[in-house]
Every structure is written in structure tokens, then in C-alpha cells.
Structure 1
Amino acid sequence: MGLAGAVWAELPVAEFSLAWQHSIEKVRWEEDYRVTPAGLQLGWARVKGSGAGMEIPADATLREGAWHYLRQVPPLQPLRLGRTPEAGDYQLCVDGRCQALSVWLGPPQAAEPALELWSCAVHSP
């Protein structure tokens, strides 16, 4: 998986999760991705509550305190993430261990308001 913003990095992973806290509702959101030749394939998502812009799909099921649902979207290539001081940071989770993207990229900055992730099998800088 490629990771680009202020820096470029390559992470040798086949799957990962992104987690973040909703900037207004302060509710954790998680999405699972697989790295495929066609791009990053979004799979299961989890959210611990609803609120502004966080409508829970009708087919979601409540398990372990979070709503789980499967997303049906084409592979994303690239996956563009908004990353600003106001919105906070994402966590990148691999094998059940999560680290804030700021570990690699520094804190979110208004001068670099977005980050792109992609499947390295298709894209190179």
C-alpha cells in the first residue's frame, strides 16, 4: 500500500483498517480495506453511534457496542483522506495494532489537508 502526503511511504500489507473519531459527534468509526491490484477494496465498517453525517445503514447489525455493515463500492484508487487539525487524525491498524498517522507524517496541518493511499500494484509516484 502506498501512503503519500508530506512524505511517501510504502507499507507491505495485504489488509488494514482505518479508524478515526468523528470531529463533531466524537464517535469512533472504523473501515476495513484489502489491498488489491485494482485498488483499495472497502469491506466491513463499524461505527459506535449515529449523528451528523453518520447515518447507520438499514442493514447494519449491532454487535459488541458498534454497528457493523458491509460496504459495496468499487475499489478506490486512490483513497483520499481529509486530514486537518480541526478534524483530527486517522489511525492505521494492521494485525489488531493501531497507530496514529502522525507517527509517520507528523500532526495534521492545514497546509497539507489531504492524504492519499493506494495499491502499489497499480500506482507508483
Structure 2
Amino acid sequence: MSACLMIGATALSLATGVFDLSWTHSVEKVEWRERWRVEGGALHLTRAWVRGSGAGMEPGPEASLEDDWWVWAPRLTIPALDLAASGATGAGWTLCADGQCREIGTAPGEALHLTPC
């Protein structure tokens, strides 16, 4: 199932309709990953991984520990996602789809707006 994701003013075609986001938490310095699906004009969060816990980093109540990652399947559907670009983590967000990854939001500035096309 193909889909389209707008990242700010840039359209990204998704052959599978799925993308992963990962980042390092600005306070806890812990890696977080999420898997999203674009479908029906919305973004669906289907899986999350976190390599620890702390301020704002609590795993979901049904999370299990797998290879040093807390993993769970949150069920969240939203129309759009805003990604802060604080510059406080030393890196931005990594967005991976269809076997390719790209860094987004690496410089401090306005939030990045992700929405289905």
C-alpha cells in the first residue's frame, strides 16, 4: 500500500505506507523509536521502542523488554505530527522508509510538520 507523507513543504512517497522515526531525548539522552503508518488521511502510531526510561520517557504499560529495548504497541491515530527542532540533542530526527533513512530537523528552528499528502 503506497502513501504520501508531507515533511514541511516536501512530499515523500512511501511504497509501503510505513515510516520509522528515531531520535535522542534531549534531557535523558536515551534513544526512542516509533513506527508510523499513513492510512486514511491520518498517521497511526503502531509500535514504539525506548532504550530506557526517565523524564517523559516512560514505556507503555504493556511494554516488554527485548534486547535492551522496551517495546510496545501504542494505538494512536492523529491527523498530523509536529517534531520539535530544538538543537538540544546534537542531532535531529531520523526518518526511515522503504530502506532509506534521512536526517530531518537537525538545525534549531520551527517545528517540522508531518502530515499525510
1:119 corresponds in structure 2 to: 116
Looking at structure 2, the residues matched to 55 and 45 of structure 1 have their Cα atoms a distance apart, in angstroms, of 11
1:78 corresponds in structure 2 to: 80
TM-score (structure 2 length as normaliser) = 0.85
The alignment of Structure 1 onto Structure 2 pairs a total of residues equal to 110
Within 5 Å, which residues of 2 pair with 1:23-62? Answer: 23-62=26-65
Q: Secondary structure at the match of 1:11?
A: strand
1:101 corresponds in structure 2 to: 104
User: How much does 1:97 deviate?
Assistant: 3.8
User: How much does 1:96 deviate?
Assistant: 4.5
Structure 1: runs of 5+ lacking an equivalent: 121-125
2:85 and 2:107 in contact (8 A); partners too = yes
Percent of pairs with identical residues:
35
1:76 and 1:118 in contact (8 A); partners too = no
Looking at structure 2, the residues matched to 67 and 117 of structure 1 have their Cα atoms a distance apart, in angstroms, of 25
User: How much does 1:30 deviate?
Assistant: 0.3
1:19 and 1:92 in contact (8 A); partners too = yes
Q: Secondary structure at the match of 1:12?
A: strand
Question: Residue deviations 1:2-34, cap 9 Å, x none?
Answer: 111xxx110001110100001111111000000
TM-score (structure 1 length as normaliser) = 0.80
AA aligned to 2:112 is: L
AA aligned to 2:88 is: E
User: How much does 1:52 deviate?
Assistant: 1.1
Looking at structure 2, the residues matched to 64 and 89 of structure 1 have their Cα atoms a distance apart, in angstroms, of 24
Looking at structure 2, the residues matched to 67 and 97 of structure 1 have their Cα atoms a distance apart, in angstroms, of 24
**Structure holding more strand per residue:** 2
